[in-house]
Structure 1
């Protein structure tokens, strides 16, 4: 059975939202904002001993090389930060996950962002689901296990959802939360300032704010009835601009 935003949904719907799905996205976003306004618990002490580096494996190195070849440097750094944020968030909530799967998903999740000129290569107009299609080809060419292919592709396809539950795949939940944290600062206050500073110092944001805004505007223009298009209609560009991070440290 498919879930909203997953690869099978992308193939079946072409990434296009139905009116009820669009209303569901809006309702979920309102709920998320209300929960954020209620505040979050005090951040735990910093974890300077927690390893935030990408796993040292051939698959992850290949994914990093692919990301660097396909994406602007600001998107590459964003992708690596998403992995680091995911590790920190998992540690915060004691979530067990597959580090290699999360790293691969983080590195491949924005490969198709803003690449609207080549969307006809895929069955889906949505950049996240198109990215999941590309990731499947990438992983199968490297003989990745079926479980890893499923986890990585699900995480990439669903990272645009307002929320992703912890089950069935922790990696999908973590990438969704990490991407929202890096792009608009959602949940940043749950992490110790020293941990946030460590991530930003190691992988600086550079001009990421403007790079992301420009890419999302291209998505909105080319595919307004997708999740990305709806998010921009609902003011996502302004949230990017107000993210609680400087463009540079």
Structure 2
């Protein structure tokens, strides 16, 4: 089991530096610390599970994965995950990456909250999903030693993360609650706005224009 975060490769390319600058400019301390913890938890899981992955693409995905919550990158009608994925794709278009790698980053970000799917995709997609799950909900918590958890949180503090991240989610898509239909972020809308009437899948089926 990895015990020192210094064992984890943290890419330092021009692309990564530019991505970090974007998070500093358009994100905030909450997103910065969360994104770095997500990368470290994801990379550590990859190493401990002995699966291959691209460090640079994983870190880029981690840096962009919540930028769809920010005013700069939030659209009026798309899921915040898609907004972040689109922002990353636009960013990566200025670098010499293959279309396959750009798509891998897009999928990693767009699917990072899609339980039951993302963990079965490519390793980079799965590891971003697991990194997010560990930091937000404590998924696979015991796979990480107390020492490594402490090291990561010391470098990238959680502070009031449990409550702050829920508020950040809500602030990021309260203007488009319909985008949470069919995904776990509907729970966030219900938490902050219990009066909101969600679409119901069964009603969509039963009230469609089909006769039977």
State the TM bucket, normalised to the shorter chain.
0.7 to 0.9
Deviations 1:144-181 (A, max 9, x none): 22222111111011001113455542111011111111
For structure 1, the 5+ residue unaligned runs are 1-44, 239-249
1:218 maps to which residue?
Answer: 171
Q: Does 1:79 align with 2:35?
A: yes
Q: Does 1:169 align with 2:125?
A: no
Q: Which is higher, the Rg of structure 1 or of structure 2?
A: 2
Q: For residues 223 and 140 of structure 1, do their structure 2 counterparts lie closer, same or farther at Cα, with a shift above 3 Å needed?
A: same
How big is the shift at 1:197? Answer: 1.0
Deviations 1:16-69 (A, max 9, x none): xxxxxxxxxxxxxxxxxxxxxxxxxxxxx4432762352121111111111111
TM-score for the superposition, normalised by structure 1: 0.68
Q: How does 1:130-141 map to 2 (within 5 A)?
A: 130-141=83-94
Q: Does 1:55 align with 2:8?
A: no
How big is the shift at 1:201? Answer: 1.1
Please give the root-mean-square deviation of Cα atoms over the aligned residues, in Å: 2.6
Larger RCO, structures 1/2 (Cα 8 Å, 6+ apart): 1
1:66 maps to which residue?
Answer: 22
Q: Which range moved further: 206-215 or 143-152?
A: 206-215
Q: For residues 71 and 49 of structure 1, do their structure 2 counterparts lie closer, same or farther at Cα, with a shift above 3 Å needed?
A: closer
In the alignment of these two chains, the number of paired residues is: 191
How far apart, CA to CA, are the structure 2 residues paired with 1:142 and 1:90? 25
TM-score for the superposition, normalised by structure 2: 0.79
Q: For residues 67 and 136 of structure 1, do their structure 2 counterparts lie closer, same or farther at Cα, with a shift above 3 Å needed?
A: same
How far apart, CA to CA, are the structure 2 residues paired with 1:60 and 1:116? 19
How far apart, CA to CA, are the structure 2 residues paired with 1:200 and 1:175? 18
How far apart, CA to CA, are the structure 1 residues paired with 2:118 and 2:132? 15
Question: Would you identify which runs of 4 or more consecutive aligned residues in structure 1 move more than 6 Å?
Answer: 235-238
1:196 corresponds, among 149, 157, 161, to: 149
How far apart, CA to CA, are the structure 1 residues paired with 2:142 and 2:181? 25
How far apart, CA to CA, are the structure 1 residues paired with 2:172 and 2:62? 20
